[in-house]
A and B are shown apart, each in its own frame.
Chain A
Amino acid sequence: MKPASFSYVRPNSWPEALKLVAAGARPGAGTQSLGPLLNLRLAQPDTIADLRHLPDYAGVAVEGGVVRIGAGTTHAAIEDGAVPGRVGEIMAGVARGIAYRPVRNRGTIGGSLAHADPAADWVAVLPALGGAAVALGPRGERRIASAGFVKGIFETELAADELLRAVEVPVLPAEARWGHWKFCRKVGEFSKATACFLALPGKAPRAVLAALDWPPLVIEDASMLAKDPVAEAARIVTAFPELGAWRRALAETALRRAVERAGGA
């Protein structure tokens, strides 16, 4: 199908973009999620404010142990190593598993997080890495912890007059151990169950269970999962009582495999 009519605006500055959004315009980033919604007429906005040409929209900067990734940074740029260091290595591996290269060439990390599809990859991975989403509103920037940013299905902590400006992740030491498992039956599909496991030296490991038609479940202290993955994965999954047997099995297996991939306890 073709989209319903809308008008198209291309703001050249962030204040201008914020004004448009406050007036009800729908932000457009890579349009790799918005495009299908428009074509299927699931979204019928009056106006689209195209963020792609805003200054400093894409790009990566490292400062004081934090990597700031502009919301407009594409999955492909991250796949190709735009984020430096150990955390960049981890993110490049994740990016390669998102959709297909032509989609990754346009789809952005900010668009993906703001879209908040429970099955999306950054929605699962960013809470595991820690850090924050940087929201820009009429009163300036504010930080929202990644672990609590997605609060429902297609629902985030962003206010109606805010834009996602950037995503921040911590610089990770070379010894950081990472495990990630995404269940999908075909390359590039949305996940049916995703688990992440991150172990930093001298700290309790963190885990995330996601893509279960629910916001991601963040386990701040996953020491038990590392010690006894089978029993603990089964216990964690009881947080999703509505899952059928098949989905529950995927979720448990994803958790166990994420731990395994991180090199176990």
Chain B
Amino acid sequence: MKKITISLTVNGEPRQVLAEPREQLVDLLRRELMLTGTHVGCEHGVCGACTVEIDGAPARSCISHAGSCDGASVRTIEGFGEDAVMADLREAFSHEHALQCGYCTPGMLVVARDVVLRLPEADEARVREEMAGNLCRCTGYRGIVRAVLRVLAARRLHA
């Protein structure tokens, strides 16, 4: 199959990639751009490991077609180095033992950041609901939920 050119912004930098039309965004990120921080679990939208930001909103990169991201702006876990909310979340995840093997963590963090910014009043039940689309085989979720609540509480205090 003839390759197609996909132009997109990845982590703030304009990129042009030659890809197979059948590729999903995650293939383009991991294979063509070597951004392997985005993980692949189920490849059908269920586990959340591949979650990245597309045009500012979290999305599954395993079922977001690469071709349809031509012109889009994508942010992967590697692109959050300077982000203040993500810095707080990283610290909280570490403090609350919210990760073990780390496989789910990039997706967890992208979703957690969206929860913190979109739902500043979220309580534990809401955090659990919002994080339900991200599976973790290691931690049992308690640490993850606590970490998100910790960041939410700190932000409310300083609001």
Contacts and interface: CB of A to CB of B under 8 A. Distances in A.
Interface of A: 1-8, 10, 28, 31-32, 35-36, 38-40, 48, 50, 52, 76, 99-103, 105-106, 186-188
Closest 5 pairs (CB-CB, A-B): A100-B133, A35-B63, A36-B44, A187-B132, A8-B21
A203 to B, nearest CB: 34
A102 B111 contact: yes
B22 A38 contact: yes
Interface stretch (B51-59, B76-84, B136-144): B51-59
A3 B130 CA distance: 29
B88 interface: no
Contacts of A2: 22-24, 27
A100 B63 contact: no
B132 A7 contact: no
A2 B51 CA distance: 17
Contacts of A1: 43
A39 B130 contact: no
A52 B55 CA distance: 14
Interface string B1-22: 1101000000000000000111
6 contacts: A5-B22, A6-B1, A35-B60, A40-B44, A48-B67, A102-B58
A101 B21 contact: no
Contact of B132 (A8, A40, A186): A186
A80 B65 CA distance: 24
A8 B23 CA distance: 10
A8 B59 contact: no
A187 B21 CA distance: 33
Contacts of A5: 1, 20-22
B62 A50 contact: no
A45 to B, nearest CB: 10
Given A1-B43, A99-B133, A101-B130, A8 B67 contact: yes
A52 B65 CA distance: 11
B37 interface: no
A31 B59 CA distance: 11
Contact of B45 (A7, A36, A76, A101): A36
B106 interface: no
Contact of B129 (A6, A39, A105, A187): A187
A98 B40 CA distance: 22
Contact of B63 (A4, A39, A48, A52): A39
B45 A6 contact: no
Interface in B59-73: 59-60, 62-65, 67-68, 70
Contact of A10 (B27, B64, B67, B130): B67
Contacts of B24: 2-3, 35, 39
B129 to A, nearest CB: 5
